[in-house]
Structure 1
Amino acid sequence: MSNQRRPQRGMQMGHGPGGGNMMMMGQKAKDFKGTLKRLLMYLKPRQSRLIAVFAAAILSTVFMIAGPKIMGTAITKLFEGAYGKFMGVPGAGIDFAGIGRILLTLAGLYVLSSLFTYVQQYLMSTVAQRTVYDLREDVNKKLEKLLLKYFDGHSHGDTLSRMSNDIDTIGTTLQQSLTQFITSIVTIIGIIIMMLTISPLLTLISIVSLPLSMFGIRPILKRSQKHFADQQRTLGQLNGHIEEMYTGHQVVKAFGHEKKAGAEFDRVNEELYEAGSKAQFISGIIMPMMMFIGNISYVLISVVGGILVTKRAISIGDIQAFITYTRQFTQPITQTANIANIIQSTVAAAERVFELLDEEEEVKDVTEVSVTRAKGAVDFEHVDFGYGEELLINDMNIHVKPGQTVAIVGPTGAGKTTLINLLMRFYELRGGRILIDGFDTREMSREDLRKNFGMVLQDTWLFNGTIRENLAYGKTGAADEEVTDAARTAHADHFIRTLPDGYETVLNEEASNISQGQKQLLTIARAILADPPIMILDEATSSVDTRTEIFIQKAMNRLMEGRTSFVIAHRLSTIKDADLILVMDQGAVIEQGTHDELLDQNGFYADLYNSQFSEKAVG
C-alpha cells in the first residue's frame, strides 16, 4: 500500500466526536479486584524469579530483624559487666572479647542482609521491565488491530497517555513498591515473632496499635481511590488537549482561538491540579496519623518496660531491642499504608490500559482466497453500511471493469470517502459484499487486499526520516534507481535535488520543513513506486499549483493506464475523461455514467457541473 490510511483528526474549536472529552474513564476503578487480578496475570510467566525475589526479601529481612536482638545481648553483657564491677563483685568486669565477637556477628548479618537486598532489587527490576515490555507489546499489537472508528472517536493524546504514562506508572509500582510491600510484610511478621520472644505483654501493647491504625486509614484509602482515578483521567485529557493544540497550532492561530485554547488548557489543568492535590493531601494524612498512634504505643512501652526492668522481669538489653523493634514495627505498617495508595493509582492506570486492550478489534481474517496481484475488477453487490444504528449506504450496487477509471463525485457528506473505506476494509459491511476479481474481500487477508491498492489522499502522511526512506515506503527493497524514476515521473525529482541534502534530506515529524504541495508530490511518487493494480486518488492534486497540476495530471494519467482507478473529485474538470462517474448523495449512488451521458440526463451531476462552469459561477 503506497500511502497508508492514517486517521486525520481535523482541528475543531468545539468538542466533537474526536475531542478530548469523549474518552475518559469513570470516576473510580470500575472493577478493582478484577483489574488487579488481570495485572497479576502478567507476572505469572516470571513466577520463578518472583519466588527468588520473595526468598531474597525474606532472608534480607530476617538478617536485619535479628540485629536489634543481638545488639541487645551486647548491651546486656556490657551493662552486667559494668554493674558487677561497680558493685565490687569478685571477678566481675566487661568482657570486651565477647562483646567484640557479638559485634562481628552483627556486622556479618548486616552485610548478608545488604547482599540479599541487592539480589532482590536486581531480580525485581528485570521482572518489572519485562512485564512492562509485555504490556507495551500487547498495546502496540492492539493498536494495529483496532477499528478505524476507535481512532476517529478517541483523542490521540489520551491513547498516548495510556501507552506511556499509565504503563510507566505500572512499571514504577512493580519495581519499587512491590518489593517494598514484600519486605514490609516479612518485617511485620518477623518483628512480631522477635517481640514475643522478649515480652508477650509489651508485644500486646504494641500490636493494639495495629487495628487502631487500620481503622483510622481505611476511610482515607476509600476516598483517595476516587481522586487517584480522577488524576489519571484528567492527565489523559490534558495530554489529548495539548496534542490537538500543538498539531493544529496553525489553525488555532488562523482563527484567533489562542485565548480559547489557553482557557481550555487552564480548565483541564485546574481539574488535574484539584484531583492531584486532593489525592496527595488525603494520602498524606496517613503518615501523620500512623506516627501519632505509633508514638502513643512507644510511650506506653517505655513506661511498662521501665517498670519490668526495675523488677528484673526483663533485661536492659532486651528492653532496648524491644523499643527498636517498636520503631521498626511502625515503619513497615506506614509503608504498607502508603503502598496501598500507590496501588490505587496503579490499578486506575492499569484499568485504563486494559480498557484499550478490550476495545473492539477488526474482524479476524478468514483467508480462503489469496490474490497476489488483482486484475482490477471491482463489484459492490447490495452493500449496506452505517456508522451507527442508521444506514448511511443502503443496497449499493457498482460494477467496475479492470482498467476503468471511476470518478466519485457528490456534495460533502455524500459518502464518497466511506465508499473507499469499505473498499479497503477499514470498516466492515452491514450487509452485501464487495468483490475483487470475483472474490469476496472478506475471504482475503487484509494484507493481501491492501497490497493491491495504492492511495494518494488529500491529507498527506510522511514520517520522520529521509525523503528516500519516505518514497521507498511504497515498495519493500526498492532500488535507488526506482526511487528516483518514480520521483521524476511525479515531477518531484527537481525540487528534491534543490534541497540541501537532496534525497537524504530529513523530514521532521510533521514534515513541516517542506511545503504542502511538495508533500503531495512525494506521496504521489510513493504511489507510483508501489505500482499497484488499483489506485485510489482523493483530490490528489488539490495542494499543488495550476502549472504543476497539469504535469501531475499527465503523470497520473500515465499511472492509471491499465489500472482500475477510483478518483474522488471536487473539481469536475479533472474527471471528464473517466470511464464511469458515480454521483453520490446521502450514501446512495443516484446517477452513474460517462460525463456526456450524465450531462444529457440534465440531473444532479449536470447541476453540479454547471454550478462550477457556468458564466454566472465564473463571474
Structure 2
Amino acid sequence: MMRYLWRFRSYGRPHLGTLVLGVGLRVGELIADLAAPWPLALVIDNVLKGRTSGPLAWLTGIVGSSPLAMLSVAAAALLLITLASGTFDYLGDRVMNSAGERITAEIRTDVFAHMQRLPMSYHDRQAVGELTSRIAIDTSRIQDALVDLFSTLLPGLLALAGYATVILSVDWRLGLIAIGGAPLIFLTAARYTRLTRQTERRQRAAEGHLATFVTESLQGIRTIHAFGRQDLHDAHFATSNSTTLNAGLRSVELRARFTPLLEAAAAVATAALLWAGGLGVVNHWWSVGLLVVVTSYLKDMIKPMRSMSRLSITFPQGAASAERVAAILDQPPPPPTPHRRLPDRATGRIDLHDITLDYGRGPVLNHFDLTVHPGEHLALLGPNGSGKSTVLSLIAGLYAPTRGRLLLDGLPLADIPAIWLHRQIAVVLQDTFLFSGTIADNIRYARPDAGPHEVARAAEAALVTEFTERLPDGLGTRLADRGAGLSGGQRQRVGIARALLADAPVVLLDEPTTGLDNAAEELVVRALGHLVESRTAVMTTHRPALTRLATRTIHLDDGTPRTGGSPASKSTRREAARATRRAA
C-alpha cells in the first residue's frame, strides 16, 4: 500500500522543513495534552483530600498550601494548558495543510503537463472523463494520505510513546494495565486496513467510469437532444451510478462497523484500568488523583490510536489514487530529439518513403510513397477510410509511422524538435475546436505573442470580420463552450485565421468544408485561398470547390495511391489560378 504513496516522496522534499515544523507543533500540542490532567489531580489530592503530593506539589512552596491558592493555581494552569494546546493545534493544522495543498498543486501540474505531452496513440485509448477524474480527484486523495503521514501517523506514534512513557513512570502497574489494550486496538485496525483498501480501489474505479460517462454525455449533448435519447443515457447512467453507489455503500459499511469495534476495544482497556485502579485506591496503593490522571492519559492515548486507525481508510484511498496517477506518469513520453541548428522557416518539401501505419487494427497505410514539392497544393481524394486523414496526421507529427521514413525538407520528423515542427505546419481540421475566451483569443492561440493588429489582419484575411462586425464586441466577443453560437462556417473561418496567424510554410486541410452549405463553403474556400497562397498545402476533401485550389490530385484506395498521382487538368489549374487571384 505504501509503495505507491512512496512514489510521490520527491514532492515532499522541498517542503520537508515545513512538514518538520508541523510535526514539532504537534509535539508541542502533545506536551500540553500530557500536562492537562495534572491541575485536576492537584485539586483532588491537595484541596479535596488535604494531601500534598504529585508533580505539582512544589507549587505549595510558592503560593502556599491553602485550598484557595491551590484552586487558583489549578484553574490558571488549566487555562494556560488549554490555550497552548489549541494554539499548537491551530498552527499545526495550518502548516500541515498548507504544505499538503502545495504538494498537491505540484503533483497536479506535473501530471497535467506529462499527460499533454503523451502521444496521440495514448489518448486514443483513454477516456477524457477518466483522465479528468485522476487529475482532479485522485491527486487530492494523495494529498490527504501524504499530509496524514506527517500530521497523524508520526505525531500519533510520538503521542503513544509519550503517554506510555509517562504512565509507566507514574506507576508501572497502572501503566501495564493501561497499555495492555493497545494490541487489541491495532489488531482491529489491521483487519480493516486490508478490507478498506480493496473497497477503495473498486470505488475509485467506479467513480472514474462514472466521470467518463458524464463527460461523454455532456460532449454529445447535441446528439442526445437531436435524437431525444435522454432515456437511454438515463439508463446507462443509472447502471454506472448504481455500481458507484454499491462501492460507496460498502466503504461506508466498513467505516461504520470499524468505529464501534474500535470503541469496544478501547472500552475493554478502560474498564480493566478502572477496576484495577479502583482496587488500588481502596488498598491505598495510589491516590485518587493519580488514578484520574492515568485514566485521562488512557483516554487521550486512545485518541491517537483512533486517529491512526482511520489511516486504514485514508491510506488505502491514497494508495489506490496514487496507483491511478502513477499509471499516467509511467507512460513514456516521446523520445527527446537531438539538438540541431534549423532554419527559421522550412521550404515545405514533404517526402513519405515506404510508410506503413497500423493503429492496432490492421495497416491503414501500406508501403505508402509520396512527395510534395514546395509551394504545391496537393489534394488527397478517395472514399472514407482510405487513409487520407492519416496522411495528414503523420505529416503533422501526431503519429509516428510503424515503418518507413517521413521527411520535411529532407530531415526525418523523428529527428526534428517538436516545437520547431509545429511552427512549420498549420492545420485546419474538419471541425475547428474553439476554446473558452474571445474570438481574438482563439485566433491568437496559434501565436500567443501576436499583437492586436496582427490578429485583426488575420481575421480580415480569413473573412472573420465579415461576421464579427455585426457582433457587439467584435473580435472581443466571448464564446460559449466549444464556440456554441457560431455557425460551422464561422468556426472554420476562425480556424483559418488561426492558421494564417501561425504563418507556417506548410498547411494541412482536413475536410475543412464538410457539412457547409454552398454560401458558407464559398466564403471558407475564399479564406482558404488566402491561406494556401505561397505555401505548401496538402488537403483531403470530397468537395469540388476545394479541389479547385489544388495543383495536383492523388486518389487513395485502402491506404495505397491509385496509379500514383496525377496533375490537375488545365481547367482545374485555371480554376486554381482564378481562386488564387480572388484570394489576393
TM-score by length of 1: 0.85
Q: Kindly indicate whether residue 191 of structure 2 is the aligned counterpart of residue 222 of structure 1.
A: no
**Equivalent in the alignment of 1:370:** 342
Offset of 1:102 from its aligned partner?
Answer: 4.1
**Equivalent in the alignment of 1:615:** none
Q: Is the 8 A contact 1:377 1:438 kept in 2?
A: yes
**Equivalent in the alignment of 1:583:** 555
Q: Is the 8 A contact 1:369 1:439 kept in 2?
A: no
- In the alignment, the residues of structure 2 paired with residue 100 and residue 588 of structure 1 have an alpha-carbon distance, to the nearest angstrom, of 97
**Equivalent in the alignment of 1:610:** none
Q: Secondary structure at the match of 1:594?
A: strand
Once the two structures are superposed, residues 528-549 of structure 1 have per-residue CA deviations (whole angstroms, 9 ceiling, x without a partner) of 2322211111111224321232
**Equivalent in the alignment of 2:507:** 535
**Equivalent in the alignment of 1:359:** 331
**Equivalent in the alignment of 1:249:** 221
Q: Higher mean Cα deviation, 447-456 or 295-304?
A: 295-304
**Equivalent in the alignment of 1:81:** 50
What is the identity, as a one-letter code, of the residue corresponding to 1:556? L
**2:406 corresponds to which of 430, 434, 437:** 434
- In the alignment, the residues of structure 2 paired with residue 276 and residue 33 of structure 1 have an alpha-carbon distance, to the nearest angstrom, of 22
Higher relative contact order (CA 8 A, sep 6+): 1
**2:244 corresponds to which of 272, 291, 295:** 272
- In the alignment, the residues of structure 2 paired with residue 547 and residue 73 of structure 1 have an alpha-carbon distance, to the nearest angstrom, of 94
Q: Is the 8 A contact 2:541 2:547 kept in 1?
A: yes
Offset of 1:39 from its aligned partner?
Answer: 2.6
**Equivalent in the alignment of 2:424:** 452
Residues 304/467 of structure 1: CA separation in 2 closer, same or farther (3 Å cut): same
**Equivalent in the alignment of 1:45:** 14
Q: Is the 8 A contact 2:505 2:535 kept in 1?
A: yes
**1:557 corresponds to which of 513, 520, 529:** 529
**Equivalent in the alignment of 1:35:** 4
- In the alignment, the residues of structure 2 paired with residue 217 and residue 176 of structure 1 have an alpha-carbon distance, to the nearest angstrom, of 16
- In the alignment, the residues of structure 2 paired with residue 40 and residue 493 of structure 1 have an alpha-carbon distance, to the nearest angstrom, of 53
**Equivalent in the alignment of 2:565:** 593
- In the alignment, the residues of structure 2 paired with residue 314 and residue 593 of structure 1 have an alpha-carbon distance, to the nearest angstrom, of 104
- In the alignment, the residues of structure 1 paired with residue 243 and residue 36 of structure 2 have an alpha-carbon distance, to the nearest angstrom, of 48
**Equivalent in the alignment of 2:57:** none
Q: Is the 8 A contact 2:189 2:312 kept in 1?
A: no
Q: Kindly indicate whether residue 286 of structure 2 is the aligned counterpart of residue 339 of structure 1.
A: no
- In the alignment, the residues of structure 2 paired with residue 326 and residue 234 of structure 1 have an alpha-carbon distance, to the nearest angstrom, of 41
What is the root-mean-square deviation of aligned Cα atoms in Å? Answer: 2.4
**1:144 corresponds to which of 96, 105, 116:** 116
Q: How does 1:510-529 map to 2 (within 5 A)?
A: 510-529=482-501
Q: Is the 8 A contact 1:147 1:360 kept in 2?
A: no
**Equivalent in the alignment of 1:504:** 476
- In the alignment, the residues of structure 2 paired with residue 569 and residue 389 of structure 1 have an alpha-carbon distance, to the nearest angstrom, of 24
Q: Is the 8 A contact 1:81 1:94 kept in 2?
A: no
- In the alignment, the residues of structure 2 paired with residue 244 and residue 312 of structure 1 have an alpha-carbon distance, to the nearest angstrom, of 74
**Equivalent in the alignment of 2:455:** 483
**1:416 corresponds to which of 381, 385, 388:** 388
Q: Is the 8 A contact 1:582 1:593 kept in 2?
A: yes
Q: Secondary structure at the match of 1:269?
A: helix
**1:381 corresponds to which of 353, 357, 367:** 353
Q: Kindly indicate whether residue 538 of structure 2 is the aligned counterpart of residue 566 of structure 1.
A: yes
**Equivalent in the alignment of 1:259:** 231
Once the two structures are superposed, residues 24-47 of structure 1 have per-residue CA deviations (whole angstroms, 9 ceiling, x without a partner) of xxxxxxxx2320211333212222
Residues 352/214 of structure 1: CA separation in 2 closer, same or farther (3 Å cut): same
What is the identity, as a one-letter code, of the residue corresponding to 2:253? F
What is the identity, as a one-letter code, of the residue corresponding to 1:170? I
Q: Is the 8 A contact 1:499 1:505 kept in 2?
A: yes
Residues 286/334 of structure 1: CA separation in 2 closer, same or farther (3 Å cut): same
Offset of 1:197 from its aligned partner?
Answer: 2.3
Q: Is the 8 A contact 2:529 2:549 kept in 1?
A: no
Q: Kindly indicate whether residue 138 of structure 2 is the aligned counterpart of residue 169 of structure 1.
A: no
Number of corresponding residues:
560
Q: Higher mean Cα deviation, 488-497 or 549-558?
A: 549-558
Residues 213/44 of structure 1: CA separation in 2 closer, same or farther (3 Å cut): same
Residues 277/538 of structure 1: CA separation in 2 closer, same or farther (3 Å cut): same
What is the identity, as a one-letter code, of the residue corresponding to 1:162? R
- In the alignment, the residues of structure 2 paired with residue 598 and residue 389 of structure 1 have an alpha-carbon distance, to the nearest angstrom, of 40
**Equivalent in the alignment of 2:86:** 114
Q: Higher mean Cα deviation, 584-593 or 58-67?
A: 584-593
- In the alignment, the residues of structure 2 paired with residue 483 and residue 37 of structure 1 have an alpha-carbon distance, to the nearest angstrom, of 48
Q: Higher mean Cα deviation, 390-399 or 457-466?
A: 390-399
Once the two structures are superposed, residues 168-203 of structure 1 have per-residue CA deviations (whole angstroms, 9 ceiling, x without a partner) of 222344446741333322222221122212332232
Q: Secondary structure at the match of 1:254?
A: helix
- In the alignment, the residues of structure 2 paired with residue 261 and residue 363 of structure 1 have an alpha-carbon distance, to the nearest angstrom, of 41
Offset of 1:263 from its aligned partner?
Answer: 0.8
What is the identity, as a one-letter code, of the residue corresponding to 1:54? V
Q: Is the 8 A contact 2:551 2:568 kept in 1?
A: no
Q: Provide structure 1 residue ranges, at least 5 long, that are not aligned to the other structure.
A: 1-31, 84-91, 600-619
- In the alignment, the residues of structure 1 paired with residue 549 and residue 203 of structure 2 have an alpha-carbon distance, to the nearest angstrom, of 58
Q: Secondary structure at the match of 2:49?
A: helix
Q: Secondary structure at the match of 2:384?
A: coil
**Equivalent in the alignment of 2:575:** none
What is the identity, as a one-letter code, of the residue corresponding to 2:91? V
Q: Secondary structure at the match of 1:392?
A: strand
- In the alignment, the residues of structure 2 paired with residue 289 and residue 271 of structure 1 have an alpha-carbon distance, to the nearest angstrom, of 28
- In the alignment, the residues of structure 2 paired with residue 576 and residue 467 of structure 1 have an alpha-carbon distance, to the nearest angstrom, of 29
Residues 201/576 of structure 1: CA separation in 2 closer, same or farther (3 Å cut): same
- In the alignment, the residues of structure 1 paired with residue 10 and residue 460 of structure 2 have an alpha-carbon distance, to the nearest angstrom, of 55
- In the alignment, the residues of structure 2 paired with residue 495 and residue 475 of structure 1 have an alpha-carbon distance, to the nearest angstrom, of 22
Offset of 1:359 from its aligned partner?
Answer: 1.7
Once the two structures are superposed, residues 526-585 of structure 1 have per-residue CA deviations (whole angstroms, 9 ceiling, x without a partner) of 222322211111111224321232233233234322211001012245315622222222
Q: Is the 8 A contact 1:535 1:566 kept in 2?
A: yes
Q: Kindly indicate whether residue 65 of structure 2 is the aligned counterpart of residue 96 of structure 1.
A: no
Offset of 1:166 from its aligned partner?
Answer: 1.0
- In the alignment, the residues of structure 1 paired with residue 457 and residue 106 of structure 2 have an alpha-carbon distance, to the nearest angstrom, of 42
Offset of 1:586 from its aligned partner?
Answer: 2.1
**2:211 corresponds to which of 234, 239, 242:** 239
Q: Higher mean Cα deviation, 110-119 or 291-300?
A: 110-119
**Equivalent in the alignment of 2:172:** 200
Q: Higher mean Cα deviation, 238-247 or 288-297?
A: 288-297
What is the identity, as a one-letter code, of the residue corresponding to 1:421? S
Q: Secondary structure at the match of 2:355?
A: strand
What is the identity, as a one-letter code, of the residue corresponding to 2:400? E
- In the alignment, the residues of structure 2 paired with residue 69 and residue 183 of structure 1 have an alpha-carbon distance, to the nearest angstrom, of 22
- In the alignment, the residues of structure 1 paired with residue 549 and residue 153 of structure 2 have an alpha-carbon distance, to the nearest angstrom, of 73
- In the alignment, the residues of structure 2 paired with residue 239 and residue 499 of structure 1 have an alpha-carbon distance, to the nearest angstrom, of 36
Q: Provide structure 2 residue ranges, at least 5 long, that are not aligned to the other structure.
A: 53-63, 572-584
What is the identity, as a one-letter code, of the residue corresponding to 1:77? N
Q: Secondary structure at the match of 2:561?
A: strand
What is the identity, as a one-letter code, of the residue corresponding to 1:574? L
- In the alignment, the residues of structure 1 paired with residue 518 and residue 232 of structure 2 have an alpha-carbon distance, to the nearest angstrom, of 37
